[in-house]
Structure 1
Amino acid sequence: MMIADLGDVKLNYRIDGPTDGAPIVFANSLGTDLHIWDAVLPYMPDGLRIIRYDKRGHGQSSVPPAPYSMGALVRDAEALLDHLQVRDCVFVGLSIGGMIAQGLAVKRMDQIRALVLSNTAAKIATPSIWQERIQAVRKGGIETLADATMERWFSREFRRAQNHLPWRDMMVSQPVEGYLGCCAAIAGTDFYTPTSGLRLPTLGIAGSEDGSTPPDLVRETIDLVPGSRFRLMRRAGHLPCVEKPAEYAEILTGFLTEIGHV
């Protein structure tokens, strides 16, 4: 475990691969930690400098008081990459991680040369929906949302085999304050205008069974960026890196090869 002390927050991060490798950064979803990428890494090409981190309020990172703003989450990623002296990375963001990716790409083009926006959107749900979830968690904890979330996150086949249970455990074990803080950040975010101004290689990935960010929503966001690519993963939900890691890595590798990052 490595901790970057960034002042108002301490972020847990992990680096795999050579120090001089082409950097690729992974940012994960609400209610998860950096381990959602574990199964993808063995399928990735050799030679990459793979950076994963827990956003504030999640995993082993510190838990500032809620609510959080998306600006704060973007600044965290920016400060971490500066701390690690990362430039020209490919930034892979899933769900809220994809929102962070969009915000960071607008702010720091020197840090990001290409984007992978996975199971995400420029705007996710409505403020009223997020407020309902915040109230439910304040009343009954994350457990209150867990079963309904699993139905949105994973395909029926994956859940029928009980393969979702470790991820349910991961979700309910996150700090409540951090979960609420990130819910507030998503509720306050609408990136349609800034994302439409991006001009960099962009790949969108969606899961056909995703109940949190359905394929049409993902595609709508990806289409904001001229020249972007879009890939739909069949029989996968909101975390295709968990359900189908080999296929996910194959899609990533194809994109990295196309843009000359491997």
Structure 2
Amino acid sequence: MKIADLGDVHLHYRIDGAADGVPIVFANSLGTDLRLWDAVLPHLPSGLRIIRYDKRGHGLSSAPPAPYSMGALIRDAEALLDHLDVRDCVFVGLSIGGMIAQGLAVKRMDQIRALVLSNTAAKIGTPPIWQDRMAAVRSGGIEALADATMERWFSRDYRASADHLAWRTMMVRQPVDGYLGCCAAIAGTDFYTPTSGLRLPTLGIAGSEDGSTPPDLVRETIDLIPGSRFELMRRAGHLPCVEKPVEYAALLQRFLTDIGHI
């Protein structure tokens, strides 16, 4: 267990794989911690230095008072990568993690050489939608959103098993300030213009049954970046790395090979 003291926040992070390997960084979604990627890691190729972290207000990282700005979340990632002396990584971001990835790529091209934007967009939802969700959490806790969120997150087949209940529990156990803070960050973010200026290898991944960031929304964002590629994972929802980790890892490996990262 490692904690990076970044001044106004303490971030929990984990490094797996080869200590001297080429870096790949994973940023998880709202309401999850770095365990989101557990099932993918065993299927990744050797020679990678695999870095995961809990964003502020999630997992074992500290939870400053809400609200948060997307700029703060981007600075956290930037500071963590500087702390770990990471340059030229492939940054894999899912949902809000993909928004962080877009912002960091615009700000620090020395840190990022390629992006994987998974189940994300340049703009997710509308401010009124997020305001309604935040109001529900303030009155009823994260539990108030849990069942509806599971329906958006997971395919019908996956929800039929008990496995999704662990993710429901993970979501409701996140700090309320952290959840509200990140909701506010998403509500205030529109990256259409900065993302359209990016010029780096980019892979987009969407799930055919994603109720949070539907495939057309993901594709619209990926198409902003010239030369990008888009992959649709069938019968998967918002967290395809959970539902179909072997297939997800295969997409990552093919991308890493094609761009010469491994």
Q: Verify same fold: TM over 0.5.
A: yes
The secondary structure found in structure 1 opposite 2:76 is: helix
CA drift at 1:232: 0.2
Aligned equivalent of 1:155: 155
Return the alpha-carbon distance in structure 2 between the equivalents of residues 103 and 115 of structure 1.
11
The secondary structure found in structure 2 opposite 1:166 is: helix
Aligned equivalent of 1:67: 67
Return the alpha-carbon distance in structure 2 between the equivalents of residues 69 and 183 of structure 1.
9
Structure 1: gaps spanning 5 or more residues: none
Aligned equivalent of 1:257: 257
Alignment of 1:20-169 (within 5 A): 20-169=20-169
Q: Would you identify which runs of 4 or more consecutive aligned residues in structure 1 move more than 2 Å? A: none
Aligned residue type for 2:113:
R
Return the alpha-carbon distance in structure 2 between the equivalents of residues 94 and 161 of structure 1.
23
Aligned equivalent of 2:213: 213
TM norm structure 1: 1.00
Return the alpha-carbon distance in structure 2 between the equivalents of residues 40 and 48 of structure 1.
13
The secondary structure found in structure 1 opposite 2:158 is: helix
Return the alpha-carbon distance in structure 2 between the equivalents of residues 173 and 182 of structure 1.
15
Seq. identity, %: 84
Return the alpha-carbon distance in structure 2 between the equivalents of residues 163 and 64 of structure 1.
31
Is residue 2:201 matched to residue 1:204? no
Return the alpha-carbon distance in structure 2 between the equivalents of residues 67 and 176 of structure 1.
11
Return the alpha-carbon distance in structure 1 between the equivalents of residues 161 and 46 of structure 2.
32
CA drift at 1:167: 0.3
CA drift at 1:163: 1.8
Aligned equivalent of 1:7: 7
Return the alpha-carbon distance in structure 2 between the equivalents of residues 195 and 145 of structure 1.
30
Return the alpha-carbon distance in structure 1 between the equivalents of residues 163 and 19 of structure 2.
34
Alignment deviations for residues 184-223 of structure 1 (CA, whole Å, 9 cap, x no partner):
0000000000000000000000000000000000000000
The secondary structure found in structure 2 opposite 1:46 is: coil
Aligned equivalent of 1:228: 228
Return the alpha-carbon distance in structure 1 between the equivalents of residues 229 and 162 of structure 2.
33
Aligned equivalent of 2:190: 190
Return the alpha-carbon distance in structure 1 between the equivalents of residues 84 and 66 of structure 2.
26
Q: CA RMSD in A?
A: 0.3
TM norm structure 2: 1.00
Return the alpha-carbon distance in structure 1 between the equivalents of residues 139 and 151 of structure 2.
21
CA drift at 1:162: 2.1
CA drift at 1:52: 0.1
CA drift at 1:133: 0.2
Name the count of aligned residue pairs: 262
